[in-house]
């Protein structure tokens, strides 16, 4: 996927909450890039829905959202890239959350950036483009 963007979980949560700013940002980004979700984002959304007080309602919302998006999966090669990136960042004590380290190689291998509300995590990964939402 060239000129693509993986929509990060924090942005997806804002979309699920129907945050007007997030909705307008995503609509704008859709005109500029091909948007996708990583398998890690799907995991994070399901995890959050399962932990919530409105479990069934939130699970249904997550399923609707995921069914409307292109999901990029991870494989052994991607996990190898994740291991290399993580090892390099650990040497500098600059390691973001491990889930971000799993999303990063999916974006890199697919030629995508990451649309996020937390660009400082993404900016730690060399050659990974962050787009603020």
Residue by residue, DSSP assigns 82-121 as HHHHHHHHHHTT----HHHHHHHHHHHHTTEEEEES-HHH
CA 109 – CA 4 distance, rounded (Å): 11
**pLDDT recorded at residue 128:** 84
126 — pLDDT class (breaks 50, 70, 90)? confident
Q: What is the pTM of this model?
A: 0.80
Token pair listed for 62: 């997550």
**pLDDT recorded at residue 95:** 64
User: What is the set of domains in the chain, with CATH numbers?
Assistant: 4-123 (3.40.50.1010)
48: exposed, middle or buried (C-beta count within 10 Å: 0-12, 13-18, 19+)? middle
Residue 41 · residue 7 · CB < 8 Å: yes
CA 14 – CA 23 distance, rounded (Å): 8
pLDDT digits (tens, 9 = 90+) for 67-110: 999 999 888 988 898 888 888 877 776 666 778 778 888 888 88
Neighbours of 102 (CB within 10 A): 21
Residue 111 · residue 33 · CB < 8 Å: no
């Amino acid at each position: 996927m060239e000129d693509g963007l993986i929509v990060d979980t924090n942005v997806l949560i804002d979309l699920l909450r129907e945050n007007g700013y997030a909705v307008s940002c995503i609509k704008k980004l859709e005109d500029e890039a091909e948007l996708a979700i990583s398998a890690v984002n799907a995991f994070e959304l399901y995890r959050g829905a399962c932990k919530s007080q409105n479990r069934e309602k939130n699970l249904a919302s997550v399923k609707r959202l995921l069914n409307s998006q292109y999901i990029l999966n991870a494989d052994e090669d991607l996990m190898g890239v994740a291991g290399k990136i993580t090892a390099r960042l650990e040497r500098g004590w600059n390691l973001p959350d491990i889930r971000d380290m799993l999303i990063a190689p999916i974006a890199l291998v697919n030629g995508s950036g990451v649309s996020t509300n937390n660009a400082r995590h993404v900016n730690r990964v060399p050659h990974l483009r962050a787009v603020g939402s």
